[in-house]
Structure 1
Amino acid sequence: NPYVGLVSRLRASWLAGKTRPMEYRVAQLEALGRFLDEKKEDILEALALDMRKPYFEAYFTDFLLCKNELNDTLNNLGCWMKDEHVDKNLVMQLDSAFIRKDPYGVVLIVAPWNYPIHLLLVPLIGAIAAGNCVVIKPSETTKHTEKLVAEALPCYLDKDCYAVVTGGVEETTKLLENKFDYIFFTGTPPVGRIIMTAAAKHLTPLTLELGGKNPCYVADCCDVHNVARRLAWGRFFNAGQTCVAADYVLCSVAMQEKLIPALREAIRDFYGPNPKESPDFARIVGDKQFRRVRALLCSGRVAIGGQVDEKERYIAPTVLADVKPSDPAMQEEIFGPILPIVIVANVDEAIDFI
């Protein structure tokens, strides 16, 4: 296995206690902050090349949120590391009782492509703060970002305790054959099952942050203008490639008739009359993902948008009306700029559907 030596080197550092002192953790977190500051423009450029991610979106999600997480961690680390004294029952009255937060050891972070810096560095910040050694695996789908992380990040962090591994399925499979003390994975349920199976062989604890179909019920009594703007922003931000975005809408027939024109107005306000020409609208990350999302356009009827350009991996902000539960768009997480509307009679029916 090509990664045995790498994992062994990090484990030796862990066993030597190198990552345990607070001063060391703070120094590494501050070094990560310098990486963000000094490579800010390179990060934003890589995101633009990989996804044509608009500057503000990239700055907000993949830079500013990371900086916020980093500052919050540095401000609170001393408090988090302290033992937490807890109440004792009658049997334990003569004992001392407290909770001590010990590091796991050597941890693996496997990051996705939709927010390739944010969803890589935020778990890394937590792992460093907790005193672990870390192997990070950026997504191979966002090639420019992967290259930047692999080449630049090791120049800032201690190479004896932190490492970057690049590559695709083959490399990740080999990596998972090694014993880790914790695994943090963000991605799809099918890959999550593979990660969980690999972790089970070593009884490795893990976190799986997986996708799903987030519902949004729109009541007849709502402010349709505000709802439409919030829906359009959340659904079409990052071209819909956000796991916490509303994946579909549940509403009555009457509300659908009011919501569609309000959504059309919101999309025009955000992206202009032709979103393809807007500097604020991203693209689908790759050809495979483009073809999968495009195939979902056959669901229901296209009420807004529907235009595509395979060469640019562009899919317009699209609203699908009168979508049936059996339609393709309702069988999987969409992860693209498509918003289906499913008709229900009332909130009780919506809850039952969900």
Structure 2
Amino acid sequence: MDIKALVQEQKSFFQNGLTAKADFRKYSLVRLKKSIEDYEEDILEALKLDLGKSKTEAYMTELATVYGEIEYFRRNIKKLMKVKRSNFSPATFPSKGRIYSEGYGSVLIMSPWNYPFQLAIMPLIGAIAGGNCAVVKPSAYAAHTSKIVKKIIETTFDEEYVACVTGGREENSMLLEEPFDYIFFTGGAEVGREVLRKAAENIIPVTLELGGKSPVIVEKTADVDIAARRIVWGKYLNCGQTCVAPDYVLVDKSLKDEFVKKSISYIEAMYGSDPIKSKNYGKIVNSKHLLRLEDNLKGQSILYGGSFDMEAGKLEPTIVDEPDLSSRLMSEEIFGPIMPIIAYENIEEAYKIISRRPKPLALYMFTGNKKAAEEVISKLQFGGGCINDTIMHLATDMPFGGVGNSGMGAYHGKKSYDTFTREKSILVKGSSLDVPFRYSVDKSAKPGSLGLKLMRALGDERRLKIIRFLMK
């Protein structure tokens, strides 16, 4: 595929105005949903091959969210596209202000391997809803799912509208050399910096959905049973390979022993006494990441788990006790089924541990104290999160995105539309009145002159009646 020619074809297609029409956008989304439904079994099988996902987990985390997003835009696209009225300004009387939304043009969407279907298609839905053309670049690490993504796109759209480019680093580099009108990247911070650097060369706006060490605080008033169950679910979902997975747990010292005991109980309830053999437990994406996790566990105090099956690509759910805060395990995003547990004496100690690290993509607190919940929200900066749950803020149409090292920009629901469109402000000026003093400020600015009185009045809406009276 000639990537340079493809981008130019998309820019030409965008200019013909078809993507600006609400009916075209809606029709495109309906076609996309139909294609996904047609290939649903193939998608589930690909996710099983790439990440060992069970059908239940794959449908819940990859397909259900996609269907929900398409339905949101199917119902709301015309409302979102409606021209907005601007507030009246006396300074421009008589006039009308209108704000139009329009797509950027050709959008590059670069998706990761951990949720290889959802994170390729969710941004695409927003790009289509916003009236753009798009090139989707799925991850080479999830090869089976990438093939299905490519097949769905190619059977649903002409490449001058939506295309899919597969491959590895060479293809990534080639794409980043092209003058796209917008780049949406999901992945690690290291590659994200390179995307940002290349985008800056062509002054291309970007959204970066990155990651980070997302902490959990189990405060002294928490329901420990609920906390353990929901943290275990969120941590070991997709074998911990989730950008908003609970990375480490800060638990009040008085609750630690009970929390550990209940966490082990829920691990075995969800995955059995031998999780590696469980059909509901996935695998690490490749040997490179498995070896990285093995290295991270060296020298750690393991309370539970820690066994590997290198041939199957699996590490059983693992709990680590009080890791050194300067260790590799606590210095980089874990992205695997390892849960460090750290006890704290008071809540301020927990805040200090979090605030000394880069701003996380997510933060979770379990508490029965409303003031404690409000305090953590106001004191710490993080992308988003939950009180008394984990991960489930992604199951809403609220904006999702990071801050600082965990990313820039956001999407989901209306925010996806906002992300993939820009606002164009238009002033429509009336011709029935043309005040002469605006063309000759020096002459009209004499003390006591009508022009000066008008200029002063123009900055105050309370004097609008005066203006209208003088203009009769």
Superposed pair shares fold, TM > 0.5: yes
Counterpart check, 1:149 vs 2:149 = yes
The residue that corresponds to 2:84 in the other structure is 84
The residue that corresponds to 2:294 in the other structure is 294
Find the aligned partners of 1:250 and 1:122 in 2 and give their Cα distance.
32
- Cα deviation per residue 1:40-87 (whole Å; 9 max; x = unaligned)? 000000000111111111011111110011011100001001011131
State percent identity of aligned pairs: 39
The residue that corresponds to 1:266 in the other structure is 266
Structure 2: stretches of 5+ with no match in the other structure: 355-472
Cα drift, residue 117 of structure 1: 0.8
The residue that corresponds to 1:182 in the other structure is 182
- Cα deviation per residue 1:169-205 (whole Å; 9 max; x = unaligned)? 1111011100011000000000000000010011000
Write out aligned runs for 1:39-58 (5 A): 39-58=39-58
Task: Give the letter aligned to residue 243 of structure 2.
Answer: C
Find the aligned partners of 2:349 and 2:88 in 1 and give their Cα distance.
47
The residue that corresponds to 2:222 in the other structure is 222
Find the aligned partners of 1:92 and 1:33 in 2 and give their Cα distance.
46
The residue that corresponds to 2:14 in the other structure is 14
The residue that corresponds to 1:348 in the other structure is 348
Instruction: Please say if residues 54 and 282 of structure 1, whose CA atoms lie closer than 8 Å, have aligned partners that are also in contact.
Output: yes
The 1:2/1:153 distance shift into structure 2, 3 A limit, reads closer
- Cα deviation per residue 1:228-271 (whole Å; 9 max; x = unaligned)? 00110000001001111110011233322221111010101111
The residue that corresponds to 1:198 in the other structure is 198
Find the aligned partners of 1:151 and 1:325 in 2 and give their Cα distance.
45
Cα drift, residue 36 of structure 1: 1.1
The residue that corresponds to 2:377 in the other structure is none
**TM-score after normalising by structure 2:** 0.73
Cα drift, residue 150 of structure 1: 1.7
The residue that corresponds to 1:31 in the other structure is 31
Deviates further, 248-257 or 69-78? 248-257
Cα drift, residue 95 of structure 1: 2.3
Find the aligned partners of 1:152 and 1:74 in 2 and give their Cα distance.
19
The residue that corresponds to 1:104 in the other structure is 104
- Structure with higher Rg: it is 2
The residue that corresponds to 1:115 in the other structure is 115
Find the aligned partners of 1:344 and 1:299 in 2 and give their Cα distance.
22
The residue that corresponds to 1:138 in the other structure is 138
Deviates further, 250-259 or 33-42? 250-259
Find the aligned partners of 1:92 and 1:219 in 2 and give their Cα distance.
55
Counterpart check, 1:159 vs 2:121 = no
Find the aligned partners of 1:193 and 1:273 in 2 and give their Cα distance.
42
Instruction: Please say if residues 299 and 323 of structure 1, whose CA atoms lie closer than 8 Å, have aligned partners that are also in contact.
Output: no
Find the aligned partners of 2:220 and 2:140 in 1 and give their Cα distance.
44
- What is the CA RMSD across the aligned residues, in angstroms? 1.3
Structure 1: stretches of 5+ with no match in the other structure: none
The residue that corresponds to 2:313 in the other structure is 313
Cα drift, residue 299 of structure 1: 5.5
Find the aligned partners of 2:13 and 2:325 in 1 and give their Cα distance.
53
Cα drift, residue 293 of structure 1: 1.7
Runs of 4+ deviating beyond 6 Å: none
Find the aligned partners of 1:96 and 1:111 in 2 and give their Cα distance.
42
Cα drift, residue 105 of structure 1: 0.5
